[in-house]
Amino acid sequence: MSYIVPIGPYHPSLEEPVHARLITDGELISDAEVFIGYNHRGIEKLCMERNFIQTLVLVERVCGICSHSHALTYALTLESISGIKVPKKGQYMRVITAELERLHSHYLWLGIALHIIGHDSLFMHSWDDREAIMDALEDLTGNRVNYGMVTYGGSRREMSLEQKDRILKMLDKIEDSQKRLTEFLLADKTVALRTQGVGVLTTEDAIRIGAIGPHARASNVPVDVRIDSPYCCYEDFEFNKAVFHTCDVFARVVVRCLENMESIKIIRQAIDSMPQGAYNLGNRIPTIKPGEYMMRHEAPRGQLCYKVVTNGTDKNERVSIHVPTFRNAPTIPTMLKGNSVADAGLIIASIDPCFSCMDR
Amino acid sequence: MQEYKRISITKDEIVPLAEKMRKNGVILAMIHGYLGKDGLPVISYEYQVDPGIESYTVEGEKVLPTISHIYDLAAEWPERELSELIDITFEGLDTSKRLFMPESMLEGQGHIFVTPMEELIEKVQKKKED
């Protein structure tokens, strides 16, 4: 007999509001629908009422996890419209913050995934590592959530020798524990039973629906804006696209573990080859010319798009924000079909959703 | 810096262009829309031609053909979003369900980008009083 099982919009297993309607045939899901928009805050509309300095502060509050990505992408868009040249040191500081943010986001996701899988001790271990990264971010930027690190024409802060040492030491610790965590995740029977062959999104479906970021890479689609279309000096660093071929929840775990190692590699290279000189343009507030530009940034969850239209005044004509979850959430019904109701929470979580970010 | 190229097209070119891009394996990065200086909509189809973006822009049209049958949900969600927020009609697109706006807001339409802020505040206050 067929039943409709609703999950959300407010549910203990969800951190953010989303509504999934599962049409079940016994224990199995035969069809599913996803409904979004429960946290729409009208941020894009507010951006049209604010000037550029105010908007930089506002867009950082779109997301609590990838706040730097939003501020960075918006600043990069305006800099591209006006042809502002950012000093290399400022770019490197932005990259270090972005990669630390990716690390803490992936550790957050790993913790949540392990908690849903039922491995609470590893959940605590991974969040312990995340805490060290959060401390490093606080040390570097002065804040734990909204870092305020980006300014037009560069970065607000530079890094002292002591900070460099502390971050490198933290990276050594994280690298060791990430290796142990990866070895465990690859070998553990419980993790394999809960993740392998669960929530499959084939390569064809990922391309058809338009999945992006780690979610697409776990379906064997090699897309990564940092490599495909470099910006912010990413071309200076050597790193690989983390791609895996099994297309299931297990692949999403593996991809994020691999990406953590790549981010550690990037941060080390950026610290070791930190350029000398200015890290921003000083107190000069740049004039933003009229124009339009679309910027893409590889945020922790995938490609973040900002399209900004300016009209020569100090206000935005239009700021269009599209976050990775907007592209990945439509894949949820496809992944859910044929799986059991018990796996639905893990499958929805496997895209690393940020619904508040998407609703903006 | 990522390259960004703006190319003007007409309404009739939207579907053949999408078919060509899909055939060539080009990713549709996003569909954006805003109101231009004269108050008429500007809709741009952003195709990801790495290392840059080719932005095919249609100006002054309020009714456009959908490309959701070509690009599936990668086009359907952005089109539904635009029809909710800017009042654009995409012919052939099912807009019977809301995407972002609450069903109770402004008779289920929203269109917040084309409604002045003062009017929005007034409508919300009026709703609260009711």
For residue A283, pLDDT over 80 is answered with no
Under an 8 A CB cutoff, do B1 and A322 touch? no
Neighbours of A237 (CB within 10 A): 20
HSE-CB for A190 with a 13 A CA cutoff: 10
Beta bridge partners of B42: B34, B59
Q: Which of A49-53, A64-68, A355-359 has the lowest mean pLDDT?
A: A355-359
Q: Two tokens at A155?
A: 């970065």
Closest A-chain CA to B102: A37
Whether residue B53 and residue A292 make contact (CB cut-off 8 A), yes or no, is no
Give me the mean pLDDT over the A5-24 stretch: 82
Instruction: State the pLDDT at residue B105.
Output: 59
The confidence score (pLDDT) of residue B92 equals: 85
pLDDT at A171 over 70: yes
On the question of pLDDT at A20 being above 60, the answer is: yes
B38 Cβ neighbours under 8 A, 6+ residues apart: B60
Cα(A339)–Cα(B107) distance, integer angstroms: 37
**Range of lowest pLDDT (A264-268, A285-289, B34-38, B101-105):** B101-105
Count A/B contacts: CB-CB distance under 8 Å: 87
Measure B64 CA to nearest chain A CA, in Å: 20
Q: Which residue has the higher pLDDT, A268 or B102?
A: A268
The answer to whether residue A255 scores a pLDDT higher than 90 is yes
Beta strands in A116-225 (DSSP E): 150-151, 154-155
pLDDT of residue A307: 92
Contact B50 A229 (CB under 8 A): yes
- pLDDT value at residue B101: 75
> Domain with A324 in it: what CATH number?
1.10.645.10
Instruction: Kindly indicate the confidence band of residue B107, based on its pLDDT and cuts at 50, 70 and 90.
Output: low
Reported as a single tens digit per residue, the pLDDT across B25-52 is 888 889 998 888 787 889 999 998 878 8
Q: Please give the average per-residue pLDDT across B3-20, as a whole number.
A: 90
Work out the pLDDT band at A321, boundaries 50, 70, 90. Answer: very high
Binary contact (B30, A318; C-beta < 8 A): no
Model ipTM? 0.83
Share of chain A above pLDDT 70, in %: 100
Tell me the nearest-neighbour CA distance from B99 into chain A, angstroms: 6
The pLDDT-based confidence of A270 (bands split at 50, 70, 90) is very high
- Over the stretch A61-101, which tens digit does the pLDDT of each residue have? 998 888 999 999 999 999 899 888 889 999 999 999 999 99
- CA gap B15, B68 in Å, rounded: 10
Q: What average pLDDT does chain A have?
A: 89
Interface contact flag, B30 A40, Cβ < 8 Å:
no
Query: Is the CB of B113 less than 8 angstroms away from the CB of A44?
Result: yes
On the question of a cis peptide bond just before residue A214, with omega within 30 degrees of 0, the verdict is no
Residues A190-245: tens digit of each pLDDT: 888 888 889 899 998 898 888 999 999 999 999 899 998 888 889 899 999 999 98
Contacts of B117 in chain A (CB under 8 A): 45, 49
Give the three-class secondary structure for A328: helix
**Residues B65-87: pLDDT tens digits?**
999 888 888 898 899 888 888 87
Residue A26: is its pLDDT beyond 80? yes
Could you tell me the pTM of the whole model?
A: 0.90
CA distance A64 to B117: 26
With 0-12 / 13-18 / 19 or more C-beta atoms within 10 angstroms meaning exposed / middle / buried, residue B47 is buried
Put simply, the answer to whether B74 touches A230 (Cβ < 8 Å) is no
What is the average pLDDT across A347-360? 85
- Reference B111, options B125, B95, B129, B127; nearest CA is B95
Quick check: A253 pLDDT over 70?
A: yes
* Residue-averaged pLDDT of chain B: 83
User: What's the pLDDT score for residue A74?
Assistant: 93
Please report the residues numbered 18 through 57 in chain B whose beta carbons come closer than 8 angstroms to any beta carbon of chain A.
25, 27-30, 32-35, 37, 44, 46, 48, 50-53, 55
Measured CA to CA in angstroms, residue A250 lies from A191, A244, A345 at distances of: 8, 9, 15
Contact B53 A311 (CB under 8 A): no
For residue A123, is pLDDT > 70?
yes
pLDDT at B110 over 70: no
Q: Please, are residues A248 and A200 in contact by the beta-carbon 8 Å criterion?
A: yes
CATH number of B3-129: 3.30.460.80
- A79's tokens: 């800099």
Cβ separation A307–B2 shorter than 8 A: no
Token output for A71 = 């501020």
Checking if the pLDDT of A151 tops 70, the result is: yes
Q: Which two tokens stand for residue B7?
A: 């190319």
| Mean pLDDT for the stretch of residues A275-286 | 82
Residues spanned by the domain of A76: 2-359
Asked if residue A300 lies in contact with residue A224, where contact means CB atoms within 8 angstroms, the answer is no
Of A48, A296, A309, the CB nearest to B29: A296
Q: Which of B88, B87, B60, B90 is nearest to B76 (CA)?
A: B90
- Find the chain A residues whose C-beta atoms sit closer than 8 A to any C-beta of B: 35-37, 40, 42, 44-45, 48-49, 80, 207-210, 223, 228-231, 292-296, 303, 305, 307, 309, 311, 317-318, 320, 322, 326-327, 330-331, 359
Quote the number of domains for chain A. 1
Asked whether the predicted pLDDT for residue B106 surpasses 60, the reply is: no
